[in-house]
């Protein structure tokens, strides 16, 4: 699909750039636009910035280094350490909005984006009957927007406790309990480790497809550094290079139920499967503290049936089954999404049939989500400003 990087309308004080979402992607774009002298208004549906980060489990730390995770215009403080904790990410986002005096309007949820009737930009329909007109729109509602739960047969008859990983906070409520974690992405793997260390009596990890497991850091060298270096190399070459490295750094866990994947690491990445960065999974699986079991097939008679025919009876099932972007109602009518509900273009590119509409933060790159959003922010700001002179100030008007 053709796209362009030049929007047809320049932002003005009364027709600013509206940024939908007050997470790291939205805030960084707002700063980059403000640095170019343009008014950017961030519309956040919750009552505070960084809402998705506030909902993550307490144990979570960035898998990317502090130095490569800061947003434009404000490095992350050294005191946060190399692997920044979830709570510190929230503090950083709050400080980011404050330091840069960003125009953030909370409690406003945008339900639909449409071309403005007069053809001069975009019309946003939001809560409270608001109709806002902007010269351009940046959608930054996030990769992890709406919890995805597979339609397992019989799930509504399950009598045990069931929750999505997005509802999990700490292992304390599950001390002494038998827990089945479904899904071995980074979230599922880390929650399983958290449960083991938090005193769960038994932890099983349900796996459909064996993932590639990578050490988060080896001898001080972060996996993120390698990910950045190989991004532009041929996929097959990276696959070949990754195999011997995996054998050297990650033990064979076949006996524990995690054989080495039969497809290449980077091939998987291109298909959307990010490697699992080890933060205790390998050790817990080797010691039998986390048991690897087959994928979930259905729920029946208060139990969980696995694809190998086994019936298990956990006290708790935690579905670490990912999220959907939920962009269909917002922009689906504009023909800017692919068959999987993902934006057809992202970053500085804008669809030919929807000039002035941008997307950021809807991928999960191995080089680091925050790093890529910071890069996208500058590119989007340049695309929107075009040939405008940096530094021109635009007055701030109230959003009505």
Confidence of residue 389 (pLDDT cuts 50, 70, 90): very low
Q: Which residue do the tokens 């349900």 mark?
A: 206
Tabulate helix, strand, coil % of the chain (nearest 5).
30, 25, 45
Average pLDDT (127-144) is 93
pLDDT reported for residue 50 = 95
pLDDT reported for residue 395 = 36
Q: Report the CATH superfamily, name and number, of domain 148-319.
A: FAD/NAD(P)-binding domain (3.50.50.60)
Q: Provide the CA 271 distance to its chain's centre, in angstroms.
A: 16
Residues 380, 37: contact at Cβ < 8 Å? no
Q: For the CA atoms of 202, 208, 210, 212, what is the dihedral angle to 10 degrees? A: -100
Confidence of residue 42 (pLDDT cuts 50, 70, 90): very high
Residues 20, 26: contact at Cβ < 8 Å? yes
pLDDT reported for residue 242 = 94
Question: CA-CA distance, 130 to 276, in Å (whole number)?
Answer: 42
**Domain ranges within the chain, ordered by starting residue:** 3-145+325-385, 148-319
Instruction: State the Rg of the chain over Cα.
Output: 22
Residues 394, 39: contact at Cβ < 8 Å? yes
For residue 383, pLDDT over 60 is answered with yes
| 36 class by beta-carbon count within 10 Å (0-12 exposed, 13-18 middle, 19+ buried) | buried
Question: CA-CA distance, 12 to 396, in Å (whole number)?
Answer: 10
DSSP 290-343: EEEEPPEEEEETTEEEETTS-EE--SEEEE---EE---HHHHGGGT-B-TTS-B
pLDDT in tens, 54-77: 999 999 999 999 999 999 999 999
pLDDT reported for residue 10 = 62
Confidence of residue 393 (pLDDT cuts 50, 70, 90): very low
- Min mean pLDDT across 169-173, 275-279, 390-394 is at 390-394
Question: CA-CA distance, 268 to 115, in Å (whole number)?
Answer: 37
Residue 277, helix vs strand vs coil: strand
For residue 399, pLDDT over 60 is answered with no
In the structure encoding, which two tokens stand for residue 380, read together?
Answer: 């989007």
Question: CA-CA distance, 322 to 150, in Å (whole number)?
Answer: 10
pLDDT in tens, 96-109: 999 999 999 999 99
Q: Which residue do the tokens 């490095």 mark?
A: 75
pLDDT in tens, 327-363: 999 999 999 999 989 999 999 999 989 999 999 999 8
pLDDT reported for residue 343 = 95
Q: Provide the CA 220 distance to its chain's centre, in angstroms.
A: 25
Q: What value does the mean pLDDT of the chain take?
A: 91
Average pLDDT (140-148) is 88
Confidence of residue 297 (pLDDT cuts 50, 70, 90): very high
pLDDT reported for residue 13 = 58
Question: CA-CA distance, 205 to 320, in Å (whole number)?
Answer: 10
Confidence of residue 272 (pLDDT cuts 50, 70, 90): confident
pLDDT reported for residue 2 = 46
Question: CA-CA distance, 206 to 293, in Å (whole number)?
Answer: 5
| 196 class by beta-carbon count within 10 Å (0-12 exposed, 13-18 middle, 19+ buried) | buried
Distances, alpha carbon 338 to alpha carbons 207, 327, 333, 342, in Å: 28, 11, 12, 5
pLDDT in tens, 207-243: 999 999 999 999 999 999 999 999 889 999 999 999 9
Question: CA-CA distance, 162 to 390, in Å (whole number)?
Answer: 52
**Residue 134 — φ and ψ, nearest 5°?**
-130, 155
In the structure encoding, which two tokens stand for residue 129, read together?
Answer: 């009957």
pTM over 0.85: yes
Question: CA-CA distance, 165 to 191, in Å (whole number)?
Answer: 8
Count of CB atoms situated within 10 Å of the CB of 322: 18
Question: CA-CA distance, 65 to 81, in Å (whole number)?
Answer: 9
Question: CA-CA distance, 28 to 113, in Å (whole number)?
Answer: 21
For residue 271, pLDDT over 50 is answered with yes
Average pLDDT (118-122) is 88
pLDDT reported for residue 390 = 38
Does CATH place domain 3-145+325-385 in 3.50.50.60? Answer: yes
Of the candidates 262, 238, 258, the residue with the CA atom closest to the CA atom of residue 250:
258
pLDDT reported for residue 363 = 85
Question: CA-CA distance, 38 to 385, in Å (whole number)?
Answer: 8
Q: Which residue do the tokens 């579905």 mark?
A: 319
């Amino acid at each position: 699909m053709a796209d362009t990087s030049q929007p047809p309308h320049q932002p003005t004080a009364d027709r600013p750039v509206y940024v939908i979402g007050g997470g790291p992607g939205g805030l960084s774009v707002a700063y980059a636009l403000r640095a170019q002298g343009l008014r950017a208004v961030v519309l956040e549906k919750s009552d505070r910035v960084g809402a998705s980060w506030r909902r993550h489990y307490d144990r979570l730390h960035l898998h990317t280094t502090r130095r490569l995770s800061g947003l434009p215009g404000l490095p992350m403080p050294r005191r946060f350490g190399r692997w920044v904790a979830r709570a510190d990410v929230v503090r950083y986002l709050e400080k980011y909005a404050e330091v840069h005096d960003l125009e953030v309007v909370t409690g406003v949820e945008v339900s639909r984006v449409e071309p403005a009737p007069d053809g001069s930009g975009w019309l946003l329909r939001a809560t409270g009957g608001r109709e806002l007109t902007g010269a351009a729109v940046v959608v930054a509602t996030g990769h992890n927007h709406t919890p995805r739960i597979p339609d397992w047969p019989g799930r509504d008859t399950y009598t045990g406790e069931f929750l999505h990983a997005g509802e999990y906070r700490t292992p304390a409520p599950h001390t002494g309990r038998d827990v089945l974690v479904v899904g071995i992405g980074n979230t599922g793997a880390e929650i399983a480790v958290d449960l083991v260390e938090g005193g769960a009596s038994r932890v099983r990890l349900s796996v459909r497809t064996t993932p590639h497991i990578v050490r988060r850091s080896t001898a001080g060298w972060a996996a993120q550094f390698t990910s950045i270096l190989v991004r532009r190399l041929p996929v097959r070459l990276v696959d070949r290079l990754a195999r011997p490295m995996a054998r050297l750094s990650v033990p064979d866990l076949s006996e524990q139920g995690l054989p080495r994947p039969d497809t290449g690491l980077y091939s998987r990445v291109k298909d959307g499967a990010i490697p699992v960065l080890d933060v205790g999974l390998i050790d817990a699986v080797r010691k039998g503290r986390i048991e690897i079991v087959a994928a979930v097939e259905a729920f029946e008679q208060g139990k969980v049936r696995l694809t190998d025919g086994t019936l298990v009876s956990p006290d708790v099932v935690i579905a670490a089954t990912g999220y959907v972007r939920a962009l269909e109602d917002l922009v689906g009518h504009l023909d800017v999404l692919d068959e999987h509900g993902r934006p057809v273009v992202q970053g500085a590119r804008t669809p030919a049939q929807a000039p002035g509409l941008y997307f950021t933060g809807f991928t999960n790159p191995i080089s680091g989500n925050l790093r890529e959003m910071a890069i996208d922010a500058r590119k989007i700001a340049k695309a929107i400003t075009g040939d405008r002179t940096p530094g021109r100030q635009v007055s701030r008007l109230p959003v009505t």
